Amino acid sequence: MPNVSRFPLQLRFSDIDSYGHVNNVTFLSYLETARVQLHSSPSGQTTDDGGQLSVSDLAGAGNFTLVGRQEIEYLAPLLFRPEPVWVSVWVTEVGGSSFALGYKVSEEDGSATYAVGETTMVLVNRESGRPVPLPELYRKALERYRGREVPFRRRASQSAGA
């Protein structure tokens, strides 16, 4: 999948619940880590002295993002092991004051996918607490990581039955 930020994530023993697998709530923490990773990624824009700006650098002074909505679909139990899992994150949609990120938690080689998810992020002005339009450079930076829709099974089965 082009335009995806992909990285290994080491499981921690504390991620495991009494059933011996990664707890469902912990997956949300994995998505958060991926979100931070994407916002720290290169934006394609540079400073006057040639330094690289990250995606988050372009959100605008006094602005920050809030989670507006999250959806996650668990596809297989993830048991504790010393090897990391791989988390992919990409942009699925860019709106006026919000954008959506897609995620996949899987094996490095893609042989197993444990979860897929999507988060809608809203850009908010710190002073007013209200949503604000995405600045054009921020929008362009997000578009660099644009990918396809999240392959939720539920959505696919609903589309097939419609």
**pLDDT tens readout for residues 86-107:** 999 999 999 999 999 999 999 9
Assign 162 a pLDDT band (cuts: 50, 70, 90): low
**Mean per-residue pLDDT of the chain:** 93
User: What are residue 8's phi and psi, to 5 degrees?
Assistant: -80, 150
Q: Is a pLDDT exceeding 70 seen at residue 161?
A: no
Q: What is the mean pLDDT of residues 28-37?
A: 96
Per-residue model confidence (pLDDT) at position 1: 44
Residue 97's domain comprises 5-161
Is pTM beyond 0.85? Reply is yes
| Average pLDDT for 40-59 | 92
**In the chain, how many domains are there?**
1
Tell me the CATH number at 114.
3.10.129.10
What per-residue confidence (pLDDT) applies to 4?
Answer: 85
pLDDT of residue 154: 77
Confidence of residue 158 (pLDDT cuts 50, 70, 90): low
pLDDT one-digit tens code per residue, 56-83: 999 999 999 999 999 999 999 999 999 9
User: Residues 100-118: what's their mean pLDDT?
Assistant: 98
Give percent above pLDDT 90 in the chain.
87
Question: What is the rounded average pLDDT of the residues 150-160?
Answer: 76
